[in-house]
C-alpha cells in the first residue's frame, strides 16, 4: 500500500508543479491567458476526478460476482484519495481563476463559486470528520446527482457567457 501512496504523492507533486506552468505557458500582456489556463485546469481536473469515482461506483454496484466486487473494494480508498487530490487542485486553480477575473463577476460565476465551495467543504468534512450525524448529512449532500448536474450546468454557462 505504501507504493500506491508514494505514487499519489508523486502525482500530486507533478500536478501542483505543472498546473501553474501550463497556465502561464502562453501568457499575454494582461495575464488573461494564464487565468483562462487556470480555469481549464479546474474544469479538466474536476472532470477527471469526478468521472473516475462515479464510474467506479457504477461498476462496483453492477450485479457481478462477489469475488470481483471484493477485488474492486481494494481500489476504493486509493481512488477516493485520487478524487480528493485532483478536486482540491482543481478547486484551487478555480479560485485563482476567479480571483483574477473577480472584477467581472456575474451571477452565474458567483453561483458556481458557491456550489464549488459547498461541494468542497462537504467533501472534506465527509472524508475527515468522524461524527456520525455529520457524515450522514455530508454524504447525502455531497453525493447527490443533482449537485453534479448543477456544477456541470454552471460550468457550461460560465464558459458560454464569459467575456472574451
Global pTM value: 0.74
Tell me the CB-side half-sphere exposure of residue 28, using CA atoms within 13 A. 6
pLDDT, one tens digit for every residue, the chain (164 residues): 466 666 666 666 666 656 555 555 454 555 677 788 888 999 999 999 989 888 888 877 777 766 776 777 788 888 888 888 889 889 989 988 888 888 878 888 889 989 999 888 888 888 787 787 777 777 777 777 788 888 999 999 998 988 65
The three three-digit cell numbers of residue 38, written as one number: 487556470
> Where exactly are the structural domains of the chain?
2-161
State the Cα–Cα distance between residues 7 and 4, nearest whole angstrom: 5
| Cell 465551495 sits on residue | 117
Amino acid at each position: 500500500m505504501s507504493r500506491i501512496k508514494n505514487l499519489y504523492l508523486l502525482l500530486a507533486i507533478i500536478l501542483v508543479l505543472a498546473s501553474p506552468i501550463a497556465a502561464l505557458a502562453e501568457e499575454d500582456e494582461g495575464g488573461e491567458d494564464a487565468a483562462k489556463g487556470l480555469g481549464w485546469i479546474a474544469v479538466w481536473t474536476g472532470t477527471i476526478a469526478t468521472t473516475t469515482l462515479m464510474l467506479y461506483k457504477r461498476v462496483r454496484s453492477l450485479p457481478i460476482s462477489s469475488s470481483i466486487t471484493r477485488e474492486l473494494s481494494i481500489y476504493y480508498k486509493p481512488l477516493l484519495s485520487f478524487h480528493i487530490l485532483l478536486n482540491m487542485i482543481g478547486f484551487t486553480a478555480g479560485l485563482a481563476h476567479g480571483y483574477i477575473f473577480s472584477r467581472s463577476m456575474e451571477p452565474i460565476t458567483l453561483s458556481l463559486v458557491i456550489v464549488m465551495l459547498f461541494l468542497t467543504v462537504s467533501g472534506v468534512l465527509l472524508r475527515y470528520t468522524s461524527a456520525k450525524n455529520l457524515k450522514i448529512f455530508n454524504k447525502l449532500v455531497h453525493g447527490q446527482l443533482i449537485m453534479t448536474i448543477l456544477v456541470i450546468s454552471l460550468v457550461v454557462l460560465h464558459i458560454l457567457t464569459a467575456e472574451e
